Amino acid sequence: MRTYLVTGGAGFIGSNYIHYMFRKYGNSIRIINVDCLTYAGNLENLKSVEDRENYTFINANICDSEAIGKIFAENEIDRVVHFAAESHVDRSIKDPEIFVKTNVLGTLVMLNAAKAAWELEDGSFKADKKFLHVSTDEVYGSLEEEGTFFYETTPLDPHSPYSASKASSDMLVKSYIDTYHFPANITNCSNNYGPYQFPEKLIPLIINNALQGNKLPVYGDGKNVRDWLYVDDHAKAIDMVQEKGRIGERYNIGGHNEKQNIDIIHIILRTLQEMLSEDDPRRKNVREDLITYVEDRKGHDRRYAIAPDKIKEEIGWYPETMFEEGIKKTIAWFFENEEWMKHVTSGDYQKYYEDMYGGK
């Protein structure tokens, strides 16, 4: 039985990935989820898997080399899927240090622990061991012109402390591939959306605020473009890269779904109106006049767009979920999981929101 070590599995993409993997492989794999449960880590995301015999949660920090080394010493790990990171650009602008600690040093700890466990005396590696580093398209910087795309060969040109820390971790992984022939892949994915996404990110924030009749903050002119991918498609891509990708290669993952932020907000408002029943009291809250232009994000990248050609040609992956379908599934999930939203938006989140948006 193949054993996966998933870092950051209590976060948004990590928990969706764990659900995807159990749906796909059932009891034929084992997953160990290592997460130190920051504000973004939530074990509620994993309630339906926590009793499985082939699932284990370990509360540990990826910067703690002793704790991570112990996990490798006590388990024969076959796959590492490394999600754990600080992931929010706005937070990185306010407090970059934790981004460097977790994203850079934490990745180094993961690489060293896997290398120590998998390396043989002659410097080669045990057969069929693989490390996948989950990264972002933001490492490539910003595209100004329409019709241009990020390719795997696009030079790294990060602008925010978040993307700089992710680019640094990509480079560390690359250095292990180049220096030690360490069996790793890097994936650079565009913006994800879907169930369990923390409402500091655009899509869940807009859904949550609109349902409550709160202002919908738009940074700058609202015309920044992101390429949105439904999270299950990302989970599938990660699995396919790990099983079918060429070792040592980088693969871009994207939705072929570029949209301006303001258009995303209009689509969400329209979809909420369609999906809420006539007598639902939240219906009257969902209004266009909630849209509020606020101060722009510092260093705000204008446009991201991924060319997922290599992953399609080599591996056969392509984005399956159309945005209209994905956003309906996402909204339906938020309707069904009001308690989840209540829990994550209490406490620390309220303070974050007040600091970030001035209590609006």
Name the site residues for ligand TYD (rule: CB under 6 A). 89, 191, 201-202, 205, 217-219, 224, 226, 261, 297
| Ramachandran angles phi, psi of 307, nearest 5° | -100, 100
* 113 binding ligand NAD? (CB under 6 A): no
Report yes or no: 34 and 11 within 8 Å, Cβ to Cβ.
Answer: no
Is 137 an annotated catalytic residue?
A: yes
Residue 81: contacted member of ligand TYD, ligand NAD, none (CB under 5 to 8 Å, by partner type): none
By beta-carbon proximity to ligand NAD, the closer residue of 68 and 286 is 68
Report yes or no: 181 and 318 within 8 Å, Cβ to Cβ.
Answer: no
Residue 154: contacted member of ligand TYD, ligand NAD, none (CB under 5 to 8 Å, by partner type): none
Q: Of the listed 35, 137, 170, 227, which one is catalytic?
A: 137
Residue 38: contacted member of ligand NAD, ligand TYD, none (CB under 5 to 8 Å, by partner type): ligand NAD
- Nearest approach in angstroms of CB 229 to ligand NAD is 8
Is 354 an annotated catalytic residue?
A: no
Is 336 an annotated catalytic residue?
A: no
CB-based burial, 42-67: b 16+ in 10 Å, e otherwise: beebbeebeeeebbbbbebbbbebeb
- Nearest approach in angstroms of CB 266 to ligand NAD is 20
Residue 164: contacted member of ligand NAD, ligand TYD, none (CB under 5 to 8 Å, by partner type): none
Question: How far from chain centre, in Å, is Cα 251?
Answer: 15
Q: Of the listed 162, 176, 196, 304, which one is catalytic?
A: 162
DSSP secondary structure string, 121-173?
TTS-B-TT-EEEEEEEGGGG----STT--B-TTSPP---SHHHHHHHHHHHHH
Residue 89: contacted member of ligand TYD, ligand NAD, none (CB under 5 to 8 Å, by partner type): ligand TYD
- How open is the CA angle 339-344-348, to the nearest 5 degrees? 145
Determine the residue type at 17.
Y
By beta-carbon proximity to ligand TYD, the closer residue of 299 and 347 is 299
Write the interaction track for ligand NAD spanning residues 137-176; mark x where CB under 6 A is met and - where it is not. -----------------------------x----------
Catalytic positions, written as ranges? 137-138, 162
